[in-house]
């Protein structure tokens, strides 16, 4: 069986680019009848907490998994290596398009898997370090980062719902019922009502 695995970290990202890349690769290399596994979840989550875990339990010897890049399997080098090791033991072939890499049961594949995993981890570490240095540099230049101490946010979860809340309360609606509908706690709703003097 042939499988395709897609993952993005947030719902602000799109799976379409990954899907298109995999479709084009599969067409060119004549990989047919792909079974798709797609999810929106952080790569820091363990595979068994993701659809990836379901895929790992499904595949058998001789199967193929196509991904756009190794980092789709996880955020850390060890996690990626653990997944690849499991697939190696099962006799499953992994194709990572971006790296131009096919994982098979040979020493070269194992070495490359380690190198790619290490590279991905180093890249993330360097990005994190650059971000920290940039924030520190901005602070030294006197720039303020984030909300000022004591400053209240300008936008709340219930912002824009004042009129609706007033209308519902005037009709006799309970705070608990409103809170459930608006997907907030009773306390959050109560504080919001007090802030905007809604009875």
Are 92 and 128 contacting, i.e. CB atoms less than 8 angstroms apart?
no
Identify whether the C-beta of residue 182 lies closer than 8 Å to the C-beta of residue 158: yes
Cβ atoms of 176 and 187 within 8 Å: the answer is no
Residue of 161, 165, 157 whose CA lies nearest to 183: 157
DSSP, collapsed to helix, strand or coil, labels residue 40 as strand
Residue 168 has, within 13 A of its CA and on its CB side, a CA count of: 16
Q: Are 97 and 67 in contact (CB under 8 A)?
A: yes
Active site residue 71: no
The catalytic residues are 9
């Amino acid at each position: 069986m042939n499988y395709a695995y897609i993952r993005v970290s947030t719902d602000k990202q799109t799976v379409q680019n990954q899907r298109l890349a995999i479709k084009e690769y599969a067409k060119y290399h004549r990989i047919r009848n792909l079974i798709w596994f797609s999810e929106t979840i952080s790569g820091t989550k363990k595979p068994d907490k993701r659809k990836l875990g379901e895929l790992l339990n499904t595949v058998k010897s001789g199967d193929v998994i196509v991904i756009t890049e190794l980092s789709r399997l996880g955020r850390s080098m060890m996690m990626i290596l653990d997944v690849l090791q499991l697939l190696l033991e099962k006799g499953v072939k992994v194709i990572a398009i971006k790296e131009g890499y096919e994982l098979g049961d040979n020493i070269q594949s194992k070495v490359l898997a380690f190198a790619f995993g290490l590279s991905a981890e180093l890249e993330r570490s360097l990005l994190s370090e650059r971000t920290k240095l940039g924030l520190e540099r901005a602070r030294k230049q006197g720039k303020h980062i984030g909300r000022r101490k004591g400053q209240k946010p300008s936008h709340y979860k219930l912002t824009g719902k004042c009129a609706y809340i007033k209308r519902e309360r005037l009709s006799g609606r309970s705070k608990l019922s409103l809170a459930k509908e608006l997907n907030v706690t009773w306390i959050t709703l109560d504080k919001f009502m007090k802030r905007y003097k809604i009875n």
